Amino acid sequence: MGKKVTVLGEVRDGALRNVSFEGVAAARTIAEDGEVVAVLLGAEVKGLAEELIASGADRAVVVENEKLAEYTSDGFAQAFLAVIEQEQPDAIIAGHTALGKDLSPKIASKLGSGLISDAVKVEVEGGNVVFTRPIYSGKAFEKKIVTDGVIFATIRPNNIQPLGKDDARTGDVSELTVEIKDLRTIVREVAKKATQGVDLSEAKIIVAGGRGVKSEDGFKPLQELADLLGGAVGASRGACDAEYCDYSLQIGQTGKVVTPDLYIACGISGAIQHLAGMSNSKVIVAINKDPEANIFNVADYGIVGDLFEVVPMLVEEFKSLLVEA
Amino acid sequence: MNIFVLLKRTFDTEEKIAIANGAINEEGAEFIINPYDEYAVEEAIQIRDQHGGEVTVVTVGNEEAEKQLRTALAMGADKAVLINTEEDVEVSDQFTTAKILAEYLKDKEADIILAGNVAIDNGSGQVGPRVADLLDIPYVTTITNLEISGETVTVVRDVEGDSETIETQLPVLVTAQQGLNEPRYPSLPGIMKAKKKPLEELEIDDLDLDEDDVEAKTKVVEIFLPPSKEAGRVLEGELNEQVQELVSLLHKEAKVI
Ligand SMILES: Cc1cc2nc3c(=O)[nH]c(=O)nc-3n(C[C@H](O)[C@H](O)[C@H](O)COP(=O)(O)OP(=O)(O)OC[C@H]3O[C@@H](n4cnc5c(N)ncnc54)[C@H](O)[C@@H]3O)c2cc1C
Ligand SMILES: Cc1cc2nc3c(=O)[nH]c(=O)nc-3n(C[C@H](O)[C@H](O)[C@H](O)COP(=O)(O)OP(=O)(O)OC[C@H]3O[C@@H](n4cnc5c(N)ncnc54)[C@H](O)[C@@H]3O)c2cc1C
């Protein structure tokens, strides 16, 4: 039997994050022949609804309110709960992003429901919606189902394939007016760190540097390689702590969790806290001068050598490949 | 200041993980205080030292968690509470744990509650916000700095690398992110003193809860290890040949370029 699924679209700097389209795809799987309702919350977000419909949602519900210009747990919870109250969905999907991680447990608590966090796969098996999620810092996986109440999950970015966009798809976009009140937290200041270019959590190719990069300048060849491949630069905690780069580049348990098609780790030893953030990558390349480094245990391909020799050679080799192609 | 810390005993994920009888094999494994909860304990001690009051560390688990509670006491916490669910709770999830913690905390008049932002084993990051919601107090997650002045609390929050400065009021619940502080090691006198500090043990009966009130809303149907990757290929030969081979493999075999 078809289900009604609401999926939260997440907006950053005026655009939808990719995880929103992945969420629509997950919702479609769960809905079967039911209905997928996209939800948008913010000060000015209505214009984005059609993109969610083109990506597979049947219709959209939008809550616009000045008080939603910035994310607060209280504000977004009031708005999202009002939509859930109106729609009475069988299932709810959000991204496992900073926003989704902060908001979803509160919504689940209000609904008295379960919540399956950080799912990397969604399947319908014998009438059950089964979510697969990494546990133990990514060293194992569990399959989980909801046994009571609404089905609710957050999905890890870059793991579920979005559906193709079809601009001919149409659907209703309705507005819901919600009074947002009693915000108990106030955002005083937002310091955006230099994250120009590709968003790490959505990047298809990541070139990451560790303490082995040795200096801020040491990141230059990595940046060159990333630019050449249309990817993004990331880092280990070691590199961030040594001030070779900004913490906003950090990948791992504390930093960003990424799942690119290609992850090139340069001068990174492969501590478990780093692996927790990248071991799900489709292809991993390790460049390290220590043949015993743990990173080789998760790598598909490895080169034992000095990254300052290897990375520039890689740049040249990729250049000639790209010229040929 | 009445300060509470939510502390979880976790499997040390630096260890090798194996599966036995459909569950993670805990035999002989190393258990630790969840690392993010260590930041919470440290911050709680610093708040107490600055503003006065008392730090109580609370855990839901079984009696083996006494070891981690004693460590927190040795770091400098004043009291510990173990809510032992061994006898009463068979299947539990984040709903269960949050409900039990909130039921314990509801009449404690906490000024501030500190938790970790995520547990490294089950890794959902749900328990902190859920507890705050059940207690009807505000919360701020993944914090890297905290200042209290009168009733006003100013925190810096890590948002995927960006940082937000947030203002709120006591009572509040916050969850700790790496970078908040450097947790201290228990000192020898600290360890001696910890042996005499109060460690209260409760069961869910004592909280007027029964098994049905805390019944899990989710269920694990399978646990498995990732399909073991074919041993990665470490390339050989002259460095420039290795680089050529790598580019060719990424293009032709892995097809990612
Ligand atoms: C609670 C907690 C959370 C954490 N969260 C994270 C996290 O989110 N992300 C994270 O990354 N870490 C995290 N860490 C830290 C983690 O444990 C490691 O300390 C860190 O990942 C090490 O960084 P690294 O690999 O760059 O440095 P190192 O371990 O020092 O490794 C440097 C590597 O570079 C190699 N090398 C040196 N020179 C060269 C060269 N010229 N060419 C090639 N290779 C070279 C060396 O052989 C070595 O393997 C966390 C730790 C804790 C306790
Ligand atoms: C007998 C038993 C059976 C269990 N069965 C299941 C099961 O079937 N399915 C399942 O998913 N889990 C099960 N668990 C695990 C347990 O329910 C979860 O680990 C727990 O709900 C915490 O979730 P989490 O690890 O995602 O923590 P997170 O939400 O990631 O933790 C965030 C923070 O919340 C606080 N916190 C978390 N847990 C505790 C705690 N126990 N005490 C005090 N503070 C805490 C800490 O500050 C922590 O840093 C079982 C546990 C026990 C003891």
Position B182 scores a pLDDT of 98
**Residue A194 predicted with pLDDT over 70:** no
Position A192 scores a pLDDT of 87
> Would you say B40 and B176 are in contact if contact means Cβ atoms under 8 Å apart?
yes
> Would you say A140 and B16 are in contact if contact means Cβ atoms under 8 Å apart?
no
Residues A164 and A294 in one domain: no
Residues A246 and A313 in one domain: yes
Domain boundary among A175, A210, A245: A175
Distance CA(A179)–CA(A35), nearest Å, equals 27
Residues A211 and A83 in one domain: no
Strand A301-304 versus strand A283-288 pairing type: parallel
Position A18 scores a pLDDT of 97
User: Looking at the whole model, is its pTM more than 0.80?
Assistant: yes
Distance CA(A78)–CA(A83), nearest Å, equals 9
For the residues A272-277, what does the mean pLDDT come to? 97
CA of B32 relative to ligand 2 center, distance in Å: 14
Cβ separation A109–B254 shorter than 8 A = no
- A187 is a domain residue: no
Residues A124 and A242 in one domain: no
pLDDT averaged over chain B?
96
Residues A210 and A244 in one domain: yes
Residues A128 and A169 in one domain: yes
Mutation choice for ligand 2 from B82, B97, B135, CB with most ligand atoms inside 8 A: B97
**Residue B47 predicted with pLDDT over 90:** yes
Chain A residues in contact with B168 (beta carbon < 8 A): 184-186
Distance CA(B103)–CA(B125), nearest Å, equals 19
List, for residues A220-257, the tens digit of each pLDDT value. 999 999 999 999 999 999 999 999 999 999 999 999 99
- A185 is a domain residue: no
Residues A159 and A20 in one domain: yes
pLDDT averaged over chain A?
96
List, for residues A259-273, the tens digit of each pLDDT value. 999 999 999 999 999
How would DSSP label each residue in A127-182? TEEEEEEEEGGGTEEEEEEE-SSSEEEEE-TTSSPPPPP-TT----EEE-------
CATH number at B2-214: 3.40.50.620
- A72 is a domain residue: yes
Cβ separation A136–B161 shorter than 8 A = no
Position A196 scores a pLDDT of 63
Cβ separation B160–A115 shorter than 8 A = no
Residues A222 and A165 in one domain: no
Cβ of B161 under 8 Å from any chain A Cβ? yes
Position A195 scores a pLDDT of 60
Distance CA(A38)–CA(A92), nearest Å, equals 10
For the residues B30-51, what does the mean pLDDT come to? 98
For the residues A58-66, what does the mean pLDDT come to? 98
**Residue A1 predicted with pLDDT over 80:** no
Name the band, by pLDDT with cuts 50, 70 and 90, for residue B228.
confident
Distance CA(A66)–CA(B74), nearest Å, equals 48
- A150 is a domain residue: yes
Cβ of B14 under 8 Å from any chain A Cβ? yes
- A184 is a domain residue: no
Question: Total domain count for chain A?
Answer: 2
Identify the CATH number of the domain in which residue A58 sits.
Answer: 3.40.50.620
Residues A213 and A69 in one domain: no
Helices in chain B by DSSP H: which ranges? 35-51, 66-75, 94-105, 127-135, 188-194, 239-248
Position B227 scores a pLDDT of 80
Per domain, the residue ranges of chain B are 2-214, 228-257
List, for residues B170-201, the tens digit of each pLDDT value. 999 999 999 999 999 999 999 999 999 999 99
Q: Is A307 in the pocket of ligand 1 (CB under 6 A)?
A: yes
Distance CA(A258)–CA(B163), nearest Å, equals 19
Name the band, by pLDDT with cuts 50, 70 and 90, for residue A2.
very high
Residues A85 and A27 in one domain: yes
Rounded percentage of chain A residues whose pLDDT exceeds 90: 95
Q: For residue A196, give Cα distances in angstroms to A69, A227, A230, A304.
A: 22, 12, 13, 31
- Kindly identify the ligand whose nearest atom is closest to the C-alpha of B177: 1
**Residue A193 predicted with pLDDT over 90:** no
Q: Which domain holds residue A247?
A: 200-324
Name the band, by pLDDT with cuts 50, 70 and 90, for residue A324.
confident
**Residue A116 predicted with pLDDT over 70:** yes
Position A197 scores a pLDDT of 67
B residues 69-88 near A, CB within 8 Å? none
Q: Is the dihedral of CA A223, A224, A226, A227 positive or negative?
A: positive
Relative orientation angle of helices A307-324 and B239-248, to the nearest 10 degrees: 40
- Kindly identify the ligand whose nearest atom is closest to the C-alpha of A258: 1
Name the band, by pLDDT with cuts 50, 70 and 90, for residue B232.
confident
Structure tokens at B42: 């440290």
Whether ipTM tops 0.90, in short, is yes
Residues A14 and A139 in one domain: yes
Residues A216 and A72 in one domain: no
